[in-house]
Structure 1
Amino acid sequence: MGENPVFSIWYRTGEVIEEKLENTSGKEMFWLITVFGIISMMDIASSINMGDKFSLAEILILSVIIGPLVGALNWGIYSLIVHGTSRLLGGAGTWRETRTTVAWATVIYSAKFLLWIPLLFLFGHELFLEETMALTNNLFLTVLFYLFSLFEFILQIVFIIVLSKGLAVAHRFSAWRGFGAQAILFAVNVFVILLRLFAG
């Protein structure tokens, strides 16, 4: 496959996962989990209002330092849950195949980096504060914030779809079973995003 799998996994999920189950290097796994972890850490920092105690620079540095560990932990938990549920649904994939599939599916989640860039430019430190004066006092910025939140929600849905298709390949069953295998994760993710969206 000549295409970069980071791009082609969006529209050729099955083929990419099938190849990467047999041909994923340790370096690829490292970077997939590292980037996933950094983005996850930034999401966590925003959701728990870390900006009330730390500067923007400190939050970004902590995300880079602690993020890879967060990514590894989240990756392990995701993999463990969907491996167990996939096996319960008749899946035949191995633990290694499940881990690899989840790692490549994080490409979709990590695409949130493209949302973080304009968000940091527009809102900066306020993204991590409990009280956001810019959002409270500026209708245009408020609309933009909710628009970005909508894009984030869409990425979560695409992540679920890609992981469903990936699990279908890894476990040799239908994509619907792949979706069922991660139903718990889906419910939790939707709840968290909606909570952030409506809690402001």
Structure 2
Amino acid sequence: MVTDDEYDDLENPYRAPVGRHDEIVTKREVPGLGPDPNPWKTIWRRPRATIRYLVATDPTRSVMLLAGLNGINSSLSRAVERNAGDVLPLAAILGIALLLGPIGGIIWLYLGGALLRWVSGWFGGRRQAEPIRTVLAWSLVPLLTTMVFWIPQLLLFGQEMFQSEMPRVESDPALLNTMVALGGVEVVAILVLGIWSLVIYLHGLGEVEGYSAWKALGVTILSGFVFVLIALGIVLIIVLLIGGAIAGFRG
């Protein structure tokens, strides 16, 4: 079992990983989280101890929910970036986000987790698939709080927030100023909470894989390069196959 000193050290969210996750057998054995830990609160201040507790007690807790919410948030964000409202009604945009967004979020969770597990193994990581998914999902908690901005934006601006032109908003100074103010606050919130989500993720990955947060950063960066290489390889294969098929048809 882990020593008392090691348990006391769990109160430091930036400590080096110690012990094994399966050595936590009761809630009492995670100092700093209280007698009845609430991961939704403790993940903000005690990322390592919270991830350690989740992995040891219920690694699947709320993982699909968080992945689904991330998918919805990403779907709505892409709709704004691509001016989806120019070709789709608001109901269709929201329907796609609510129905297909969670599917995309879960696919991201499993593919991203598999890639991290694979690359982490190159650096002596424990290569634990489920704990890595726990980290990916729970590290999103701070960033996902910015989803509250969708509520006033959808109520006030509706379809136009997804369109390239916003005649109703632009013709109303009060509405336009509100959009600018909300947008500014949202950008700051996304930046700050996104950084905190990254901090939680790096410490969480280091916790479950048995290395430091800095090493987790290196593993993550390398995983990004590997993903790009794999994507380019797939595109190249598709291009070659299509080119070969066209050449064969002409021949």
**TM (normalized to structure 2)?**
0.65
Distance in 2 between the 1:163 and 1:59 partners?
Answer: 30
- 1:50 deviates by 1.5
8 Å Cα contact 1:160-1:186 kept in structure 2: no
8 Å Cα contact 1:161-1:179 kept in structure 2: no
Other-structure match for 1:60: 94
Other-structure match for 1:5: 39
Query: Please, which of 74, 81, 91 is the counterpart of residue 108 of structure 2?
Result: 74
Distance in 2 between the 1:113 and 1:45 partners?
Answer: 14
1:20-35 alignment to 2 at 5 Å? 20-24=54-58, 26=60, 28-35=62-69
**How many residues matched?**
187
Change (3 A) 1:126 1:186: farther
Q: Does 1:86 find its partner at 2:124? A: no
- 1:185 deviates by 7.8
Aligned AA for 1:21? V
Q: Which one has the bigger helix percentage?
A: 1
Larger Rg: 2
Aligned AA for 1:78? G
8 Å Cα contact 2:54-2:61 kept in structure 1: no
8 Å Cα contact 1:32-1:103 kept in structure 2: yes
1:9-158 alignment to 2 at 5 Å? 9-24=43-58, 26=60, 28-133=62-167, 134=169, 138-139=176-177, 141-158=179-196
Find the residue that maps to 2:164 and give its secondary structure.
Answer: coil
8 Å Cα contact 1:135-1:141 kept in structure 2: no
Aligned AA for 1:153? L
Aligned AA for 2:163? L
Find the residue that maps to 2:44 and give its secondary structure.
Answer: coil
Aligned AA for 1:45? A
8 Å Cα contact 1:160-1:179 kept in structure 2: no
8 Å Cα contact 1:39-1:112 kept in structure 2: no
- 1:135 deviates by 6.3
- 1:186 deviates by 8.4
Distance in 2 between the 1:122 and 1:63 partners?
Answer: 19
Query: Please, which of 196, 202, 210 is the counterpart of residue 164 of structure 1?
Result: 202
Distance in 2 between the 1:185 and 1:91 partners?
Answer: 13
Find the residue that maps to 1:18 and give its secondary structure.
Answer: helix
Aligned AA for 1:159? S
Find the residue that maps to 2:139 and give its secondary structure.
Answer: helix
What is the identity percentage for the equivalent residue pairs of Structure 1 and Structure 2? 26
Change (3 A) 1:115 1:78: farther
Find the residue that maps to 1:21 and give its secondary structure.
Answer: helix
- 1:14 deviates by 0.6
Higher RCO, 1 vs 2 (CA within 8 Å, ≥6 residues apart): 1
